[in-house]
Amino acid sequence: MKHTVSIKQNHVFRRLYSKGKSAVSPCVAVYCRKNGLDHNRLGLTVGTKLGKAVIRNRTRRRIREAYRLHEGALRLGYDIVVVARVRASFVRYGELERNLLKCLSKLGLLEEQG
């Protein structure tokens, strides 16, 4: 992740949930808010409803990879939290990636191409 730092503090997650904009799809929910910095910060939330640790970690890796591949097309200066929903652990990677991009597009985080 070239321009992205991980979010680890609980108060940042809570602030995004309460004051950030959100977009949902069948696989993921995405929350975002401006952070006033020159880089993005990414947080991932994968609950225990998804399954055991192996499945949760695999889901986390797949979301992180989909984000990494499209990181260059994102606007800078945002805190982004991606919450995996139960369906995220069962769908194919391509569908997970499309769902994440759709949510990011709804929130206006993707820069215009061309």
CATH number at residue 66: 3.30.230.10
Ordered mean pLDDT values, 10 residues apiece, the chain (114 residues) = 80 91 93 90 92 94 92 90 92 94 91 61
Q: Is residue 101 part of a domain?
A: yes
Q: Determine the Cα–Cα distance for residues 46 and 84; give it in Å rounded to an integer.
A: 5
Q: Does residue 111 lie within any of the structural domains?
A: no
Q: Given this model, what pLDDT does residue 59 score?
A: 94
Residue 87 lies in a domain: yes
pLDDT value of position 114: 39
Q: Which amino acid is at 77?
A: G
Q: What is the DSSP string of 61-97?
A: HHHHHHHHHTGGGBPSSEEEEEEE-GGGGTS-HHHHH
Which pLDDT does position 4 carry in this prediction?
79
**Domain total of the chain:** 1
Do the Cβ atoms of 41 and 76 come closer than 8 Å? Answer: no
Query: Taking the CA atoms of the chain, what radius of gyration do you get in angstroms?
Result: 13
Instruction: Specify the pLDDT at position 58.
Output: 94
In a domain, 83, yes or no: yes
pLDDT of residue 113: 56
CA torsion, points 99, 34, 5, 96, in degrees to nearest 10? 0
26: in domain: yes
**Does 53 map to a domain?**
yes
Residue 65 lies in a domain: yes
Domain hosting residue 73, numbered range: 4-106
Give the phi and the psi of residue 40 in degrees, each rounded to 5.
-90, 155
